[in-house]
Amino acid sequence: MKLRKTLEHIVPYAPGKLKEGAIKLASNENPLGPSPKAIARINEIAATVSLYPDAGVVKLRDAVAMKLGVERDNLIFGNGSDEVLCLITGAYIEEGDNTVTSEHTFSEYTFATVLFGGKVKYAPMQDGRFDLSRILELIDSRTKIVFLCNPNNPTGTSFGEKEFQAFMEGVPPKVLVVSDEAYREYVERPDFPDTLRIIRQYPNLVVLRTFSKIYGLAGLRVGYGVGSQEVIADFYKTKTPFNVNLLAQEAALAALEDVEFVKRSIETNRKGKEYLYHEFDRLGLKYYPSDANFVCVHVGRDSMEVFRRIMDLGVTIRPLRSFQLDEWIRVTVGTEAQNRKFVECLEQALQV
C-alpha cells in the first residue's frame, strides 16, 4: 500500500495521558458534567438508537438558528467542531495551497490543512496574543484559509471587535477566515467581536462553536459552523450523511434550553479563575489572564516534568511542549475542590 505523500509526516493524534482515579483538568471539559436536561433526554430516547439520526440535523439546526438569530442555511453541524474544520479544508485546500494561523494555537488547524495537501504558515504571537497584523502579512496568492482562535487555546487570550474589524478589512475576499470560538460563552469582555453580526458583512467569514465546553457534551461530539449560505453550502459537499449521532442531536437540543446550567457553569468558571489567579500570584507564577475555562501558567521549568509530578499526586493537566511552550502548563478550571487539590499538587511539584 502506498500512503499519500502528504500523510507521511502526520503523526496520529495521541490522547493525553490519564491516570486512573486522577482528577482530569487536561482537556477544558465542563467540571459540572453534562447539563442535567441533556442526561434526562438521553435516558428517555436511549431505546431509539436502532434508527439512523436525522442527516439534516434539522431540529437542532433550527433551534440554534433561532437562538443565534441566523437562518438554517447559515449553519452546518459536525461530529465536534474538529470535524467541521476538516469539512472546511476539504472544501477548499488543493495540493500546494496554504493556510495561515498563529504559533501556539490549537493543533487541528494544522492537521486539517495537511490532510488535504496544504501547508501552514505561522505568525508569531505577541505575549500570548494573536498578532492579526502579522497574520495579514503572511497571506499570499496560495492562501485559502486563515484560522483564528478567539479566545486562544492554550493561552486563553482574546482580541476585540475593533482589531478584528480592521483585520477583516485587510483580508482579500477570496480568503476564508475561520474564527474558532469554542470558548465564546465564557468570555466576559464587552468588546468581544460580534462575529454573528459581522458574518453578514463578510461572506468569507465562518464562526465555529461547540457543545463540548459550556454545555458539557464533549463525549457526544457536536460542533457547528456559522457563515454565509454560499460557503456553508460548499461544506455540505464534504460531509458524510449521518455525521452527528442521534443521542448527540437530542442532548444538544435539551442542553441548549438549559439556561440555568450555562449560568452555573459560567459562575463556577469565574470563581475558579479568581481563586487560581490568587494562588498563582501567591506562588509567584506568571499566567495569562484567561477569557476561557482554562489558564496558561508559566512554571519556569520543563513542563513535562511538572506534568508527571502533578499526575503522580492525582491531577492531570496539559504540559504545553506540543504547543512549543516548553515551560508552560494549561490547567482547566475545575470545581472548587478540584482547583484546591490542583494547587496543592502544583505547589508540591514545584518544591522538588
* Site of interaction with ligand PLP (CB under 6 A): 28, 80-82, 106, 149, 153, 180, 182, 210, 212, 218, 223
How far is 111 from 88, CA to CA, in rounded Å?
A: 12
CB-wise, 87 or 349, nearer to ligand PLP?
Answer: 87
Q: Which amino acid is at 151?
A: P
CB-wise, 183 or 280, nearer to ligand PLP?
Answer: 183
CB-wise, 147 or 313, nearer to ligand PLP?
Answer: 147
Shortest distance, CB of residue 19 to ligand PLP, whole angstroms?
20
Shortest distance, CB of residue 225 to ligand PLP, whole angstroms?
11
How far is 292 from 52, CA to CA, in rounded Å?
A: 35
Check if the beta carbon of residue 89 is closer than 8 Å to that of residue 119: no
CB-wise, 93 or 149, nearer to ligand PLP?
Answer: 149
CB-wise, 183 or 349, nearer to ligand PLP?
Answer: 183
Check if the beta carbon of residue 327 is closer than 8 Å to that of residue 35: no
How far is 170 from 182, CA to CA, in rounded Å?
A: 24
Shortest distance, CB of residue 90 to ligand PLP, whole angstroms?
16
Peptide bond into 12 cis (omega under 30): no
CB-wise, 212 or 279, nearer to ligand PLP?
Answer: 212
Shortest distance, CB of residue 18 to ligand PLP, whole angstroms?
16
CB-wise, 150 or 339, nearer to ligand PLP?
Answer: 150
DSSP track, 117-176 = T-EEEEEPPBTTB--HHHHHHH--TTEEEEEEESSPTTT-----HHHHHHHHHHS-TTSE
β-bridge partners, 296:
288, 330
Check if the beta carbon of residue 291 is closer than 8 Å to that of residue 151: yes
Which residue has its beta carbon closest to ligand PLP? 80
Shortest distance, CB of residue 11 to ligand PLP, whole angstroms?
18
Cell 519556569 belongs to which residue?
Answer: 300
Angle in degrees, 0-180, between the axes of helices 229-236 and 81-92, rounded to the nearest 10: 90
Shortest distance, CB of residue 56 to ligand PLP, whole angstroms?
19
How far is 150 from 116, CA to CA, in rounded Å?
A: 24
First to last CA, the chain: 50
CB-wise, 92 or 186, nearer to ligand PLP?
Answer: 186
In terms of Cα–Cα distance, which of 216, 272, 261, 213 is closest to 28?
A: 213
Shortest distance, CB of residue 17 to ligand PLP, whole angstroms?
16
Shortest distance, CB of residue 349 to ligand PLP, whole angstroms?
24
